[in-house]
Protein backbone atom coordinates (compact mmCIF):
# COMPACT_ATOMS: atom_id res chain seq x y z
CA UNK A 1 0.00 0.00 0.00
CA UNK A 2 1.33 3.44 -0.82
CA UNK A 3 1.87 5.75 2.10
CA UNK A 4 -0.56 8.57 2.57
CA UNK A 5 1.37 11.63 1.52
CA UNK A 6 -1.38 14.17 2.08
CA UNK A 7 -0.77 15.57 -1.36
CA UNK A 8 -3.90 14.18 -3.03
CA UNK A 9 -7.12 13.64 -1.13
CA UNK A 10 -9.93 11.47 -2.37
CA UNK A 11 -12.10 14.55 -2.92
CA UNK A 12 -9.62 15.75 -5.54
CA UNK A 13 -9.93 12.58 -7.64
CA UNK A 14 -12.37 12.46 -10.56
CA UNK A 15 -15.73 10.76 -10.07
CA UNK A 16 -15.45 7.00 -10.43
CA UNK A 17 -11.64 7.36 -10.31
CA UNK A 18 -11.72 7.63 -14.06
CA UNK A 19 -8.45 8.16 -15.85
CA UNK A 20 -9.09 10.99 -18.29
CA UNK A 21 -5.56 11.16 -19.69
CA UNK A 22 -5.49 8.25 -22.13
CA UNK A 23 -2.30 6.26 -22.34
CA UNK A 24 -0.59 8.02 -19.44
CA UNK A 25 1.25 4.79 -18.55
CA UNK A 26 3.89 6.22 -20.89
CA UNK A 27 4.91 8.50 -18.00
CA UNK A 28 6.40 5.44 -16.34
CA UNK A 29 9.65 4.35 -17.96
CA UNK A 30 10.00 0.59 -17.94
CA UNK A 31 13.52 0.85 -19.37
CA UNK A 32 14.87 0.72 -15.82
CA UNK A 33 13.95 -2.99 -15.67
CA UNK A 34 16.40 -3.84 -18.40
CA UNK A 35 19.49 -6.00 -17.91
CA UNK A 36 20.35 -6.33 -21.60
CA UNK A 37 19.95 -3.79 -24.33
CA UNK A 38 19.53 -4.22 -28.09
CA UNK A 39 22.40 -2.86 -30.14
CA UNK A 40 21.90 -2.45 -33.89
CA UNK A 41 24.23 -2.71 -36.81
CA UNK A 42 22.29 -0.94 -39.54
CA UNK A 43 24.67 -2.13 -42.25
CA UNK A 44 22.94 -5.48 -42.09
CA UNK A 45 19.40 -4.12 -41.77
CA UNK A 46 17.05 -4.36 -44.74
CA UNK A 47 14.18 -2.63 -42.95
CA UNK A 48 11.75 -5.55 -42.95
CA UNK A 49 10.17 -4.30 -39.72
CA UNK A 50 9.97 -7.64 -37.93
CA UNK A 51 11.43 -6.04 -34.78
CA UNK A 52 8.76 -3.33 -34.94
CA UNK A 53 6.01 -5.89 -35.44
CA UNK A 54 7.05 -8.27 -32.65
CA UNK A 55 8.05 -5.76 -29.94
CA UNK A 56 5.66 -6.36 -27.01
CA UNK A 57 6.28 -2.83 -25.72
CA UNK A 58 5.61 -1.09 -29.00
CA UNK A 59 8.77 0.91 -28.32
CA UNK A 60 10.44 0.33 -31.70
CA UNK A 61 9.86 3.21 -34.09
CA UNK A 62 10.82 4.02 -37.62
CA UNK A 63 13.21 6.89 -38.14
CA UNK A 64 13.09 9.32 -41.07
CA UNK A 65 15.87 7.34 -42.80
CA UNK A 66 13.64 4.24 -42.86
CA UNK A 67 15.65 2.32 -40.26
CA UNK A 68 14.10 1.20 -37.01
CA UNK A 69 15.30 2.13 -33.55
CA UNK A 70 14.26 1.13 -30.03
CA UNK A 71 13.10 3.75 -27.56
CA UNK A 72 15.34 2.76 -24.65
CA UNK A 73 13.17 4.62 -22.14
CA UNK A 74 10.66 1.76 -22.48
CA UNK A 75 12.67 -1.22 -23.77
CA UNK A 76 12.59 -4.00 -21.16
CA UNK A 77 15.33 -5.94 -22.90
CA UNK A 78 13.36 -9.11 -23.56
CA UNK A 79 15.42 -9.93 -26.65
CA UNK A 80 12.50 -10.82 -28.93
CA UNK A 81 13.73 -8.36 -31.59
CA UNK A 82 17.20 -9.94 -31.60
CA UNK A 83 15.74 -13.45 -31.76
CA UNK A 84 13.31 -12.66 -34.59
CA UNK A 85 15.63 -10.48 -36.68
CA UNK A 86 16.19 -12.18 -40.04
CA UNK A 87 19.53 -10.57 -40.77
CA UNK A 88 21.17 -10.57 -37.30
CA UNK A 89 21.08 -6.79 -37.20
CA UNK A 90 20.27 -6.73 -33.50
CA UNK A 91 22.45 -8.14 -30.74
CA UNK A 92 21.69 -8.13 -27.05
CA UNK A 93 24.48 -6.60 -24.98
CA UNK A 94 24.70 -6.63 -21.18
CA UNK A 95 23.96 -3.31 -19.52
CA UNK A 96 27.12 -1.93 -17.98
CA UNK A 97 25.69 0.41 -15.36
Partner 1 sequence: MKLVENFDIFAPVVVPPEEYFSPGHRACQGCGEVLAVRLVCKALGPNVIISMATGCMEIVSSPYPHSAWRVPWLHVAFENAAAVASGVEAALRVIERKGKIPAKNTHSIAMGGDGGTTDIGLQSLSGMLERGHDVVYVCYDNEAYMNTGVQRSSSTPFGAMTTTSPPGKMSFGQSTWKKNVAEIAVAHKIPYVATASPSYPIDLINKIKRAVDVVGPAYVHVLSVCPTGWRSAGNNSIKLGRLAVESAVFPLYEVKDGKYRLTIDPPKLRPVSDYLKLQGRFRHLTPDLIEQIQKRVTEEYGILKKKCEE
Q: Which positions lie near partner 1, rule CB under 8 A?
A: 17, 19, 21-30, 33, 43-50, 52-59, 62, 66, 71, 74, 76-80, 82-84, 87, 92
- State how far the alpha carbon of 70 is from the alpha carbons of 6, 39, 62, 92, in Å: 38, 9, 9, 12
Tell the smallest beta-carbon distance from residue 70 to partner 1 (Å): 10
Residue with Cβ nearer partner 1 (4 or 43) = 43
Residue 72: which of 28, 30, 41 has the closest Cα?
30
Could you give the CA distance from residue 47 to residue 90 in angstroms, rounded to a whole number? Answer: 12
Tell the smallest beta-carbon distance from residue 85 to partner 1 (Å): 11
Amino acid sequence: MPKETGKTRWQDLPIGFMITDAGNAAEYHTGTWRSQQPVRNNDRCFRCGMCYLFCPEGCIHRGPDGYFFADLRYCKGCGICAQECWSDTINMVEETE
